[in-house]
Amino acid sequence: MHDQAEKTGPHGAFLGAAVRLTVLSSRLVAPRPSGAPALLVLLGYPAVVLVVFVVLVVLGVSGSSTGSFWEFFGRGPDPDLIAGVPRKIRTDEWLVQSGWVVSQAQQGFPAVNQTLPGGMDATVQNDLPSWDWSTLFRPHVWGFLVLPLDQGMAVRWWLPFAALLIAAYGFAVTLMPRRPVTAALLATALGASPLLQWWFLPTTLWPVAWAATALTTLVWCLRPGRRRVRWAAAAVTAYVTVTMTMSIYVPFIVPAAVVVVVVGVGLLLDARLGLRRSVGALLPLLAAVGAAGVVLGAWIVTRLDTVRALLGTVYPGQRLEATGAIDFGGAVAAFSGPFQRALQDGETGALGPNASETAAPLVIGLAMSVVLVWLVSERWRRERRIDAVALSVVVAHAVVLAFLFVPHWDALAHLLLLDRTTVARVRSAFDLLNLVSVVVATARLDALRARSTWSTAVLAGLVVLAPSTVVWAVLRATGSTVLSVSSAWTVVVALLVVAVVAASRRVPLVGAGAFLAASLVVGLGVNPLYRGVFDLTETDMGREVAAVAAQDPDAQWLGIGTFWAGAVLVESGVSTYNGVQTAPPEEMWDEIDDDASDEDAWNRLANVSWVPGVGEPTVTNPYRDQIQVTFDACSAFAQEHVDYVVSESRLDDPCAVEVDREEQGSAPLWLYRVD
């Protein structure tokens, strides 16, 4: 043996070690006889995700932008800001939902939050923690009930994201069992999408996680294997279905459902099991749908008044989107993903009104459709059989594009529930289809042991390049600051072309790596890393409100100004006329507008704020989701219903007696008693 090693030399020994390592790796990733991935492959990436999740929760670190309050209540650098900057545009996260979470904590996590007079059902919207049976299906809020507030926020932030990563990986590795690294890179790239990062909330992330989970379960049900595995996967799908639906944010649920239904039909047709065997194979999934329906039915019936009130609002009410509503500018925005590093610098240019509404995915799935069409033709040439899965992914793209660009089929869109989403939110379907397209194409190329033709690969690269060129030309023609702020778009476009061409030529590891790199360039840094929660009850005015409330627990409060004063009152958990209402509390608005003359202005999901005025309250809508009301401490409304006022400016009102002035941070707050 020693003589043989001398003959082969160090290069031979190295080559032999490399061969042995390759053989070992091949054995480790070898799928089981049923085609399912090996246990190590299936659990490896999820284990890493869960370890990182636990560490972040223990440290109380999240991506919340509650640090935006530091601008008003702090001085100098924020000691809890680890990296990045808080995103003030994300008011739904740091002002609305996080504010109501703190309010819930102050009140002991009730099912009905009593901050707004008349109360607000905390179990229907805003994903709030409460001691209610429905919380069993909201795992991301469990942390608030058993952990300190900082750790609870970390659980709420990271758990849906971890579920998305694991579900996306599960789908990818189910179809590509020998490519766990590629699957991990694709799942991470999906999570780094600029659209998901700018809309980073449980209501956004759970639909994506649900779609990947449902498709994975469907694949497992259609394959031979252990029955208990299929039933376990179906049970997970049922649970996530309830979790997603209880968010009731339909605009993000619909795009996910479109992908699942269309691609699911393709998977079912491709299995060619026949009607009887198909029903048998799908029995676990059908049972899961039934179980989820029972739970959701019970949830809706026990909250029917709240649901009716929400559906009866002027906004959003029964909001429907017309087909083909997107114009040229909207089309430019929809394909502006490579340019969206500029959004982190506050620049949107001609792309949209703000960063969240402008956010768009990196659309490589559309380019991969070229490869999928080639695969359909190649399978037909070889087997005289339609590749229903590859074709279904192309059809799913076509459905989304038709909804965006083709008008006058509203009746059909309404029947399919497509009109329940919006032009901006439906883009999330492209994120899902990016994953599905690359995974399906790779699985098919592996099965054929083939590469697409160079002409197909080049055409796919051009499909990436063409819309990016159009966007660049429009931004350049309009003199948009987006181009001058961020030059990273050239790198992103190049990476996307590499990703598509590499995947087309059956080098998916390179393609997935390039796609992840592109996603990180535009998505990494959107949200900050923040330690804990900026709790307004711990500010000077928050402590003053608590002291007064302890002496006068039945007092009614009101905040005047933009949102700082109102936010202090909401988080303090006292009874106030400020805050975002999901549906108008009847008691509250009977007190403000007893003849309902301003009902069109206040019967909506909106933030209620107050400004100084004269006489009885008048209600206006600066924006469709904003309710602004005037306040006069001498009015009959104030004299009867308001005891204390917190204001962002000094009030010149004979019926408002100054009690305290707290100056903390950049501006003072005044506390008044209504006399």
Question: pLDDT of 250-272, one tens digit each?
Answer: 999 999 999 999 999 999 999 99
Determine the average pLDDT of the residues in 393-419. 95
Question: Average of pLDDT values for 215-232?
Answer: 91
DSSP three-state, residue 642: coil
Other residues' Cβ atoms within 10 Å of the Cβ of residue 331: 17
CB 185 within 8 A of CB 515: yes
Distance between CA 125 and CA 58 in Å, rounded?
27
Helix (H) or strand (E) holding 454, with range, is helix 454-477
Check residue 588 and give its pLDDT.
Answer: 98
Strand order in the sheet with 529-531: 61-62, 529-531, 81-83
Better pLDDT: 480 or 466: 466
When pLDDT is averaged across residues 460-464 and rounded to a whole number, the result is 96
Residues 436 and 361: their CA atoms lie apart, in Å, by 14
| Rounded-to-integer distance, Cα 215 and Cα 267, Å | 9
Q: Give the DSSP per-residue string, 542-580.
A: HHHHHHHHHH-TT-EEEEESSSHHHHHHHHHT-EES-EE
Which pTM was predicted?
A: 0.94
Alpha carbon distance 429, 260 (integer Å) = 10
pLDDT band at 7 (very low <50, low <70, confident <90, very high): very low
Dihedral of CA 46/49/51/53: which sign? negative
389 and 456 Cβ atoms separated by less than 8 Å: no
Residues above pLDDT 90, as percent of the chain: 85
CA–CA distances in Å: residue 536 to residues 74, 85, 88, 414, 572: 11, 19, 16, 43, 7
Residue at 533: amino acid letter: V
Strands 619-620 and 575-576: unpaired
Three-state SS for 581? strand
Confidence of residue 350 (pLDDT cuts 50, 70, 90): confident
pLDDT at 400 over 70: yes
Burial 374-401 (b: 16+ CB within 10 A, else e): bbbebbeeeeeeebbbbbbbbbbbebbb
Residue 11: the pLDDT is 59
Nearest to 612 by CA among 648, 588, 664, 658: 648
Has residue 529 got a pLDDT over 60?
Answer: yes
Which has the higher per-residue pLDDT, 13 or 555?
555
The pLDDT value recorded for residue 317 is 79
- Please confirm whether the linkage preceding 316 is cis (ω < 30° from 0): yes
Question: So what's the pLDDT on residue 224?
Answer: 83
**What's the confidence (pLDDT) of residue 141?**
97
What's the pLDDT at 481? 86
